[in-house]
Structure 1
Amino acid sequence: MWKTIKRIIFIILILNVIFIVWGRFFNPPITITQIGGILKYGKLQRDYISYEEMGNNVKKAVIASEDQKFFSHDGFDYTAIEKAMKHNEKGKRIRGGSTISQQTAKNIFLWQGRSWFRKGLEAVYTFIIEKVWSKDIILERYLNSIEMGQGVFGVEAASEYYFGKSSKSLTASEAAWIAAVLPNPKKYDPKNPSAYLRKKHNWIMRQMRNVRLK
């Protein structure tokens, strides 16, 4: 029995190593979140593209919105995590402190949820991809896999869905609208923005001036 368990664990570890190495060169065939989108909305709208094809505006907008320290941290923003913990202790609406690297690890390898077990796995995968992948690869995987609408995944599909153009052709304002729906793309819609979304869009536009791509 114990030999069988050890064999299963060994196989799982080997498959994970293969998947991580694979991910350095290729986008994932499909993710658990994307499967959930298919089951819930009956569609999977995505279009994987290379880092160069994405254009700078959408990269800057998403970094400005989600993780302005992306190029300088080691996968974890400890200041943001501490602030999120203090905020959540007050019993208010839960706030996350995840970096783009952490979100990439979750989107590619894991599932959605807030359990400590999943967060632990997320930390492990984040540490590994920061060592094995480059920042450009992490950002490319993130921008290709992130949920951007109901059954819509990745910035290219989102650009086509919301503005009928490629992500490389997005203006700074259009890119900021796409980034503004994060982290709740099922709730917010750039085509019909709420007052909150307009405020966030304007904030992202200002923050984009501070983002420098490597």
Structure 2
Amino acid sequence: MTRNDAPKPDSGGPGYPAFPRPTWEGRSRPADQTAAPPYTPDLDDRTPAPPPKPVPRKPRPHKPRPKHDEPRREESTRQGPSFLRRWAKRAALALVAVLATVELIAILLVFVTPPRTMFMATDSAPGPIVQQNVSIDHISRYMISSAIVHEDGQLGTRSAPFDYGEFMDRIEARLRGNKDPAGSSIPQQVTKNIFFNRSQNSVKKGVEALFSIPFGYTISDKRMMEIYLNIAQFGPNLYGVCAASWYYFGVPPWNINEYQAAQLAGTLPLGEEVRRAPGGGIDLSENAFWLVPISVNRAAEWFVPEITREMGGWEGVVATIDIHEPASAFADRQGERNACSTMPQGVADRLAAEGNPQS
């Protein structure tokens, strides 16, 4: 078979199906087979369908550009951790400011004894506050020793304002609802009397301990004891050992004997409940608040004398806070106002109001 004899694609030859040839009946054959198809108005004049409307998107809030050309962080980083860091920084700055203020007050207390405290301001007993400051040089060493032994035997030997181990034990006992195994140290009590009211709760105890830290490291133990004995409560509206010694015993604070000092130390945990006996002294009768005779007798009869003896007598106790001479060594200065050598007018007025005028 020659090339010319080969079947054509549309001839229906062997292996090829027959395809009809296009016809051009009724119209002329286009000169060019590649020409565009004829114009059809019914198809080409239709208006195209409008494009679909885009779904509106919620506008994103405006966020300022980072300052100092900082690289932008991811959304999760900006919203979460940065918020916590910001508030943590503010809380830290607030705590530093508060502690700095407490430190400034502690520095001031090195030189000045406060005439009034928050504890005095929240005393609900009727009548005026009776209080007068006295120098520690003119306070009986029996009184100083008894207060240390009864309230804070480690005051002069402890390097911190309070024992941190005992404090954690107290927190654990409070959380479990148990009895407090130990009382507050003298720096803690000074802080409480100056800054806080009489409410009792764990949060206040924690803040009280925190505030006592700058107090304990700034104020010497001797000065701390002087402040404490001038602001401690010894009865309703009765504060300081100057007013207490004259009110209960009719003697100046430098002339308190050993037994009287131990009795006054026993009243310190119950200052709001203590009353004066009609003839003088502390009321230990059946009319007294039931805990007062227990606390006062316990302190005066065996606790204070026993612990004092174990610590080397009153001389050994007061030596722990750097006191090495008796109050009589300052007898030549007992005429000064801060010696409390005469009965304060507030005490005299109170005794007169109670029907016990002093001659």
Aligning the two structures, in what range does the TM-score lie when normalised by the shorter sequence?
0.7 to 0.9
Question: Distance between the aligned counterparts of 1:82 and 1:15, measured in 2?
Answer: 26
Structure 2: which amino acid aligns with 1:61?
Answer: S
Matching residue of 2:127? 42
Correspondence list, 1:22-41, <5 A: 22-37=108-123, 39-41=124-126
Q: Gaps (5+ residues) in structure 1?
A: none
Counterparts in 2 of 1:192 and 1:133: CA distance versus 1, 3 Å: same
Matching residue of 2:138? 53
Asked which structure has the greater RCO (Cα within 8 Å, sep 6+), the reply is 1
Once the 2 structures are TM-superposed, how far is the Cα of residue 201 of structure 1 from its aligned partner?
Answer: 1.6
* Runs of at least 4 residues off by over 3 Å: 9-18, 78-96
Does residue 205 of the first structure (1) align with residue 305 of the second (2)? Answer: yes
Once the 2 structures are TM-superposed, how far is the Cα of residue 152 of structure 1 from its aligned partner?
Answer: 0.5
Structure 2: which amino acid aligns with 1:56?
Answer: R
Question: Distance between the aligned counterparts of 1:193 and 1:89, measured in 2?
Answer: 35
Question: Distance between the aligned counterparts of 1:152 and 1:54, measured in 2?
Answer: 17
Once the 2 structures are TM-superposed, how far is the Cα of residue 26 of structure 1 from its aligned partner?
Answer: 0.4
CA contact (8 A) 1:65 1:179 kept: yes
Structure 1: which amino acid aligns with 2:300?
Answer: H
Question: How much identity, in percent, do the aligned residues show?
Answer: 24
Larger relative helix fraction:
1
Once the 2 structures are TM-superposed, how far is the Cα of residue 113 of structure 1 from its aligned partner?
Answer: 2.5
Counterparts in 2 of 1:88 and 1:193: CA distance versus 1, 3 Å: farther
Does residue 179 of the first structure (1) align with residue 284 of the second (2)? Answer: no
Q: Gaps (5+ residues) in structure 2?
A: 1-86, 276-280, 286-292, 323-359
Number of matched pairs? 209
TM-score normalised by the chain length of structure 2: 0.52
Residues 89-146 of structure 1: CA deviation (Å, up to 9, x unaligned): 7866655421111111111222222223322221122110111111111111111111
Matching residue of 2:230? 144
Question: Distance between the aligned counterparts of 2:152 and 2:175, measured in 1?
Answer: 22
Which structure: larger Rg? Answer: 2
Question: Distance between the aligned counterparts of 1:90 and 1:66, measured in 2?
Answer: 25
Does residue 193 of the first structure (1) align with residue 293 of the second (2)? Answer: no
Residues 10-66 of structure 1: CA deviation (Å, up to 9, x unaligned): 8766644432221111011311111122x4222211111112111211000111111
Matching residue of 1:157? 243
Structure 1: which amino acid aligns with 2:251?
Answer: K
Question: Distance between the aligned counterparts of 1:60 and 1:119, measured in 2?
Answer: 26
Question: Distance between the aligned counterparts of 1:128 and 1:15, measured in 2?
Answer: 10
Matching residue of 2:147? 62
Once the 2 structures are TM-superposed, how far is the Cα of residue 174 of structure 1 from its aligned partner?
Answer: 0.7
